């Protein structure tokens, strides 16, 4: 049904919920909103109002303003990023990505970028063949 074009927020929320891990019901109970509504939000059928967003932020381990930014309610204003090491200017790392990945052990973090590298090389060879 819903091979949703763009549902950033729903996916993010769901991922975060699963990662915790929580069921919809438990999250609903902790946040004080209905599980059915949360389900629809994750599915992209509803868009959470600011009130709902505020309620589910902490149970999901988000800062309120973080979630608001992800929802597009606030514009991403501070250049955030993986500052624990100022030196690496890199472009910009998405704060959400930084946050999720930062919770993993370093080996896992490196493994992840290893996978990324592999995928990129595969993609490259594919475009090569098709030329």
Neighbours of 111 (CB within 10 A): 12
Which residues, 43 to 72, sit near DNA by CB under 7 A? 43, 45-49, 51-52
Distances (CA, A) of 38 to 1, 12, 48, 55, 74: 18, 13, 8, 11, 21
39/28 Cα distance (integer angstroms): 10
User: Among the candidate windows 24-32, 34-42, 85-93, which touches its own copies by CB under 8 A?
Assistant: 85-93
6 binds, among its own copies, DNA, none (CB under 5 to 8 A by kind): none
Contacting residues toward its own copies, per CB under 8 A? 8, 11-12, 15, 18-19, 49-51, 53-54, 61, 63-66, 68-69, 71, 73-75, 77-85, 87-106, 108-110, 112-117, 120-121
């Amino acid at each position: 049904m819903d091979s949703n074009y763009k549902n950033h927020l729903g996916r993010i929320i769901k991922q975060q919920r699963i990662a915790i891990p929580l069921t919809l019901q438990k999250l609903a109970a902790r946040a004080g909103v209905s599980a059915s509504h949360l389900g629809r939000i994750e599915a992209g059928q509803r868009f959470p109002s600011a009130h709902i967003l505020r309620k589910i932020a902490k149970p999901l381990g988000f800062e309120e303003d973080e979630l608001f930014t992800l929802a597009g309610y606030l514009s991403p204003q501070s250049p955030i990023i993986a500052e624990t090491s100022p030196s690496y200017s890199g472009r910009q790392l998405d704060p959400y990505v930084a946050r999720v990945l930062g919770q993993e052990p370093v080996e896992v973090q490196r493994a992840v970028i290893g996978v990324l590298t592999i995928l990129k090389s595969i993609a490259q060879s594919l475009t090569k063949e098709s030329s």
